[in-house]
């Protein structure tokens, strides 16, 4: 008998840090791959794929009667997905909800929830089956020879790793999911537009982004709504992330006649994923608080035919003004924060919309190639069998003679192989064929079948060997789907933002983002610097107005990048958004659609100029550990001024294509303290640690000025520059500083007193 080793000999020394890292990584990957993120090929999460495959195995197609949802959930749990039954049922319900899926994959009978967030009935009461769309798009080519299968959790069943989707469901129905440290939020799209983009990519693989995204005007949500500023959506498609503004749809009606006639607002569509009951509750609360004082009554007249919310106005109120308030204070207008994150090659990747389309085309072409190869093998086998039968009918006397004189089946098989030149499988086919098939009438039918199979085999060979033919066949299939599922859009394309003449004033500080309200043209905006800086624990980073179409990019010194819009922040409560991570040294810059690029300078003397979409890629070209010193918008004809803490000043141009370019060599212990981009007619001033303000003219590279420069900032052409000192005071640049006081940051004021 073998004695067990002592316990101390079974202890394996390991690093706690390494064990935690490996365990957390394994957990994170299992959540990403096994639960939270969709596959970029068929667009499904594992639980969705298992539900649909289980229903297919149960024969629950669109032509068959539905079965209880509890039966489907039990099949999924027992064979493929050993998790909670409620989570599986919730996923099944979402696949059947027309207000959740642009193209539902399951047809449900019974109570499957509502837009008011009413829960679905218990699974024992509802019934389900696959929709006709799901059967055609997902299961037409399902076979182990076409897509890969693998064992289930207990190796008793086989399940597909991916379904052979004919259309990119990831883009058609969208997806949302939260993994470990990342999340995906992909909006749904119109099938006809997506197919048109796929066809163009097949015809023109190097199609420009501008042309490609012109074919895709924007998402198409199942609940309708209207897209605001659709011209900004291509930017989201290029980067794979960004905010898409969506608002509800309303119209004006008149209730009553004559002097009693009153205008009312009728809301017929709400933005995607906005719960109608919650919207009504929030709006009623705002009316009660007096924040929507112009509304006299709010009624929900929705029914099976759709949403209908009636807003009655008080006497003397304007419809446009009330709509303005509803859009700003309620979710009648929302920001859909898109994040195109999916599993590409088994790894989570942020993708542009072009990348997702290309991923699907590669997958679909491979699926077709495997499908043609599988069909070619089946056709060849069938031709082999029919050829044997045709030989037997042609030489029927020989077959009967062999059968009459043979003493065993093996001897008959051997004689058939020898006399008719058949293979063993062909001889077996002849021996197992009923006599009624060996007639002259059957011989004519066999010859016709052989001719058809020969033509099909030749076509399949051509499709396998000629990629051009294969792509033409793919285009033909896509056009058939486009004709069948094209239809019309549900989400309208807006042409103007909420209000072109309204700006939102924001203040950014360590405490968060504070909404200051609206400013209409002609109104002056004056800010009290003393009052703004009175909260010494809350230094101001940026304060100003964001107009429609403008975005505030906030750069972190350690490489973080955040985006804020006035429309996004106006309806929110004060404070940083949940996704914002506060860090010291934040640098804001305002950009819009006309911005040519953004320049960045590091403390170590490196410079970069990048387009706004490229900033989100995260590779700014700075060495590890080098922090961002200054940022700004780039224009042609500008020059860059750099100043170090030891008093050296540099001037030069930063080319448009610069990426991590070393601008200068700093001495040991020297670092940059200021950087500005100026025109040749702009003066530059530096504030020394001793409180002196000195002009810094355009000097050749390498010349020095007074030592101890603490900041460099624009003066001429912009207005007055105020410095915020290390003693929490605001001073005008050029004024005396107290002994030991230094300017640590600056707020620039434009001419006319506007920030």
One-letter-per-residue 3-state SS of 591-611: ECCCCCCEEEEECCCEEEEEC
Which residues are designated catalytic? 125
Return d(Cα 598, Cα 591) in angstroms, integer. 8
DSSP-derived 3-state class of residue 668? coil
Question: What pLDDT was estimated at residue 399?
Answer: 86
Which token pair is 372? 């043609």
Of 378, 372, 374, the residue nearest 465 (C-alpha): 372
Q: How far from chain centre, in Å, is Cα 79?
A: 31
Output DSSP code: residue 34.
I
Instruction: Tell me the whole-structure pTM to 2 decimals.
Output: 0.67
* pLDDT recorded at residue 89: 97
Which run of H or of E encompasses 209? helix 209-214
Domains and CATH numbers, the chain: 31-165 (3.90.199.10), 249-331 (3.30.1360.40), 366-486 (1.10.268.10), 595-722+730-754 (2.120.10.90)
Specify the pLDDT at position 232.
86
Contacts 24+ apart (CB under 8 A), 253-257: 255/312
The residue written with tokens 């809350």 in the block is 538
499, 644, 674 from 471: Cα distances, Å: 46, 60, 56
User: What is the mean pLDDT, run by run of 10 residues, along the chain of 755 residues?
Assistant: 66 84 80 83 95 96 95 96 92 95 96 93 96 96 94 93 96 91 92 95 92 93 92 91 92 77 89 94 92 91 90 87 89 93 92 96 96 95 90 86 86 88 88 77 80 94 94 95 92 62 59 48 34 46 69 76 62 49 70 79 83 69 81 80 72 69 75 74 55 50 40 38 47 44 42 36
| Paired strand residues for 565 | 551
* pLDDT reported for residue 748: 38
Residue-wise over 97-135: b if at least 16 C-beta within 10 A, else e?
bebbbbbbbbbbebebbebeeeebeebeebbbbbbebbb
Q: What are phi and psi of 727, to 5 degrees?
A: -110, 25
Q: Is the CB of residue 723 less than 8 Å from the CB of residue 688?
A: no
The whole-number pLDDT of residue 568 equals 52
pLDDT at 403 (0 to 100): 86
pLDDT number for residue 168: 96
* Cα gap 706→643, rounded to integer Å: 11
Q: Provide the pLDDT for residue 603.
A: 81
Residue 100 tokens, joined: 């959740």
Q: Give Cβ neighbours of residue 444 (< 8 Å, ≥ 6 apart).
A: none
Cα gap 672→607, rounded to integer Å:
12
The set of residues, in sequence order, having a beta carbon less than 8 Å from that of 300 and lying 6+ positions away, is 276, 280, 308, 309, 310
Q: Hey, which residues does 222 pair with through a beta bridge?
A: none
């Amino acid at each position: 008998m073998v004695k067990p080793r002592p316990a101390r000999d079974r202890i394996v020394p390991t690093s706690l840090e390494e064990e935690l890292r490996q365990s957390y990584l394994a957990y994170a990957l299992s959540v990403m791959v096994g639960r939270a993120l969709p596959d970029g090929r068929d667009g499904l999460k594992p639980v969705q794929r298992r539900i649909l495959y289980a229903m297919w195995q149960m024969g629950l197609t669109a032509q068959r009667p539905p079965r209880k949802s509890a039966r489907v959930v039990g099949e999924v749990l027992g064979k493929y997905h050993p998790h909670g039954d409620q989570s599986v049922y919730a996923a099944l319900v979402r696949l059947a909800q027309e207000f959740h899926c642009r193209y539902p994959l399951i047809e449900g009978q019974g109570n499957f929830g509502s837009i008011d967030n009413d829960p679905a009935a218990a699974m024992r009461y509802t019934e389900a089956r696959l929709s006709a769309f799901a059967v055609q798009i997902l299961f037409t080519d399902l076979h182990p020879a076409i897509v890969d299968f693998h064992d289930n959790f207990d190796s008793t069943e086989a399940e597909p790793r991916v379904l052979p989707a004919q259309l990119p469901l990831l883009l058609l129905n969208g997806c949302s999911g939260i993994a470990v440290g990342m999340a995906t939020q992909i909006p749904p799209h119109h099938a006809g537009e997506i197919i048109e983009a796929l066809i163009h990519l097949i015809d023109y693989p190097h199609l420009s982004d501008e042309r490609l995204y012109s074919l895709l005007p924007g998402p198409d949500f199942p609940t309708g709504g209207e897209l605001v500023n659709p011209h900004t959506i291509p930017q989201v498609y290029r980067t794979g992330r960004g905010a898409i503004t969506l608002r509800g749809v309303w119209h004006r009606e008149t209730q009553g006649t004559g002097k009693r006639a009153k205008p009312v607002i009728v809301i017929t569509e709400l933005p995607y994923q906005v719960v109608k009951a919650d919207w009504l509750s929030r709006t009623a609360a705002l009316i009660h608080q007096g924040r929507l004082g112009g509304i006299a009554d709010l009624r929900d007249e929705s029914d099976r035919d759709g949403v209908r919310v009636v807003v009655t106005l008080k006497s003397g109120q304007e419809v446009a003004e009330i709509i303005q308030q509803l859009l700003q204070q309620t979710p009648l207008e929302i920001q859909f924060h898109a994040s195109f994150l999916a599993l590409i090659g088994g790894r989570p990747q942020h993708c542009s919309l072009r990348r997702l389309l290309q991923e699907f085309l590669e997958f679909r072409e491979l699926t077709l190639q495997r499908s043609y190869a599988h069909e070619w093998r089946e056709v060849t086998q069938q031709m082999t069998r029919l050829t044997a039968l045709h030989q037997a009918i042609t030489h029927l006397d020989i077959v009967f003679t062999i059968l009459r004189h043979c003493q065993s089946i093996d001897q008959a098989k051997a004689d058939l192989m020898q006399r008719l030149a058949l293979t063993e499988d062909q001889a077996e086919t002849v021996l197992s064929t009923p006599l009624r098939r060996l007639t002259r009438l059957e011989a004519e039918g066999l010859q016709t079948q052989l001719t058809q199979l020969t033509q099909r085999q030749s076509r399949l060979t051509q499709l396998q060997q000629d990629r051009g033919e294969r792509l033409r066949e793919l285009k033909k299939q896509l056009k058939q789907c486009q004709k069948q599922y094209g239809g019309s859009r549900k989400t309208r394309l807006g042409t103007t933002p909420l209000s072109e003449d309204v700006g939102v004033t924001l203040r950014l500080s360590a405490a968060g983002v504070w909404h200051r309200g609206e400013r209409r043209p002609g109104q002056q905006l004056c800010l009290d610097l003393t009052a703004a800086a009175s909260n010494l624990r809350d230094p101001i980073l940026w304060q100003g107005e964001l107009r429609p179409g403008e975005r505030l990019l906030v750069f972190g010194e350690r490489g973080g990048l955040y985006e804020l819009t006035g429309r996004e922040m106006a309806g929110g409560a004060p404070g940083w958004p949940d996704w914002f991570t506060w860090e010291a040294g934040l640098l804001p810059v305002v950009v819009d659609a006309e911005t040519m690029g953004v320049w960045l300078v590091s403390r170590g003397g490196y410079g970069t100029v990048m387009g706004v979409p490229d900033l989100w890629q995260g590779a700014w070209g700075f060495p590890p550990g080098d922090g961002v010193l200054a940022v700004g918008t780039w224009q042609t004809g500008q020059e860059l001024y750099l100043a170090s803490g030891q008093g050296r000043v540099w001037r030069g141009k930063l080319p448009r294509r610069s990426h991590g370019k070393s601008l200068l060599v700093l001495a040991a212990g020297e670092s940059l303290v200021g950087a500005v981009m100026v025109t040749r007619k702009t003066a530059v001033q530096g504030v020394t640690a001793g409180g002196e303000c000195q002009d810094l003219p355009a000097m050749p590279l390498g010349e020095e000025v007074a030592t101890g420069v603490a900041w460099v900032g624009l003066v001429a052409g912009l207005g007055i520059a105020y410095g915020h000192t290390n003693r929490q005071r605001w001073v005008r640049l050029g004024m005396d500083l107290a002994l030991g006081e230094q300017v640590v940051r600056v707020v620039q004021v434009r001419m006319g007193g506007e920030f």
